[in-house]
Structure 1
Amino acid sequence: MVTTATPDTATPDTATRILDVAEELVQTRGLNAMSYADVSARVGITNASLHYHFPAKADLAVGLVDRYSGRFFAALDEIERTRPDVADRLRAYVDIYGAVLARGRMCLCGMLASDFETLPAAVQKRVSEFFERSYTWLEHVIDRGVAEGRLPAPASSRATAEALVAGLEGAMLVSRPAAGTERFAAIADALLAAVGVPARV
């Protein structure tokens, strides 16, 4: 039975459920292929309730990126706290992408980037910031690895960071037609090897 929430009865939990459903749809279909009707039907609310929480699709997309980025960079903070070894940090970074693919999904910001020209300006800004922060984090890890003698010095740590992110996003994309994550894992291992990270023991 479909529950019809109204602005008067809507709760923060409703907003969370909206974000959960919308995130899955964007990660599997893309933002342009997701409609408010899709989300409201899955959540079990009316379109009016959905618009109460997120008046426009741009508002929903901003909420999605903000929440996804928050989780992503909290995971990177955890990696820094718990993995002092540079190679382990880079492997853990790759594992974030692998875990998303294992759920049958793509990186949220990667999916949004594929529709970048059609995104509202506020969403474009957040997607760009997501990738910029990713590049910066990886660049610092690579520089530390070089300083410690754990990684070979690249021509440009920034370019290496960007190539790693691009490679992982592409690995997710070409792995979608294949069952499982084996193709992604093989490509990810090759990307790490190119940076100088030895294979997992």
Structure 2
Amino acid sequence: MTDAIMDAAERRIRSSGYDGFSFRDIAADVGVKSASIHYHFPTKEKLAAAVARRYTDRFVTAVEQRVAGGEDIVRASREVFRDALCKDGKMCLCGALGATASDLSDEVRYEVQRFFRLGLDRFQQAGLAPVDAVRVLAVLEGAMLTANVLEDRSLFDASTEGLNFDFDEEKQLE
């Protein structure tokens, strides 16, 4: 039941942001009473934080699998973002939440920040300078947003294809 609730919340957040869903909406999506949603997640903040945590963990795992398959971290991240856009047709969940970060509860904002910090940390661990790590993440999130707003997924490809950086080879081998 919790997976179905979180799946419904994730779909709604990725489509409409944090303010784009209610427990009543989720209950209708799942086919239960809203009291059932409250049983598993006492507050909207608890639900959104759990969804963001799960999304971050899945995202990081997907990137790590691609890196283990031989892709560099930037290419791997680009492809995972691209999959989210093209296969799911949705925004990055943490990007959607991050757009209104100042309005989020501390608990939800923490989970959104965790997504961005893990991404930046992994880029830096792979050898990117801190400023280049920020640039990569900003380009990926911005390209996804632009492609979504303009309803043209080719914009994501066009704006991210040239993301290439010289990596510190010693860090790549660690």
| TM-score, with structure 2 as normaliser | 0.88
Quote the RMSD (CA, aligned, Å). 1.7
Residues 67, 76 of structure 2: 8 Å contact kept = no
One-letter amino acid of the structure 2 residue matched with residue 121 of structure 1: D
Distance 2:146 2:66 in 1: 27
Partner amino acid, structure 2, of 1:99: D
Which segment is superposed worse, 20-29 or 33-42?
33-42
Aligned residues: 166
Q: C-alpha distance in 2, partners of 1:138/1:165?
A: 9
Given that 2:74 and 2:136 are in contact with CA atoms closer than 8 Å, whether structure 1 keeps it comes out as: no
1:118 pairs with one of 103, 107, 110:
103
Q: Give the SS at the match of 1:104.
A: coil
CA drift at 1:80: 3.2
Query: 1-side partners of 2:93 and 2:151: how far apart?
Result: 20
CA spacing shift, 1:27–1:117, aligned 2, 3 Å: same
* Larger Cα-atom Rg: 1
1:160 counterpart (113, 121, 132): 132
- How far residue 28 of structure 1 moved from its aligned partner, in angstroms, is 0.8
SS at match of 2:141: helix
2:156 maps to what in 1? 184
Question: Unpaired runs of 5+ in structure 1?
Answer: 1-13, 144-156
SS of equivalent residue, structure 1 residue 95 = helix
> Could you report, residue by residue, the CA deviation over 1:74-122 in whole angstroms, capped at 9, with x for unpaired residues?
1232233221x53xx3212101101111121001111111111111111
Identity %: 31
Alignment correspondent of 2:171: none
Contact kept, 8 Å, 2:63 with 2:80, in 1: the verdict is no
Code of the residue aligned with 2:67 in structure 1: it is: E
Please give the residue correspondences for 1:115-154 in structure 2 after superposition, counting only pairs within 5 Å.
115-143=100-128
Tell me whether 1:92 sits opposite 2:79 in the alignment: no
Q: 2:13 aligns with which of 9, 26, 35?
A: 26
1:105 to 66, 78, 90: 90
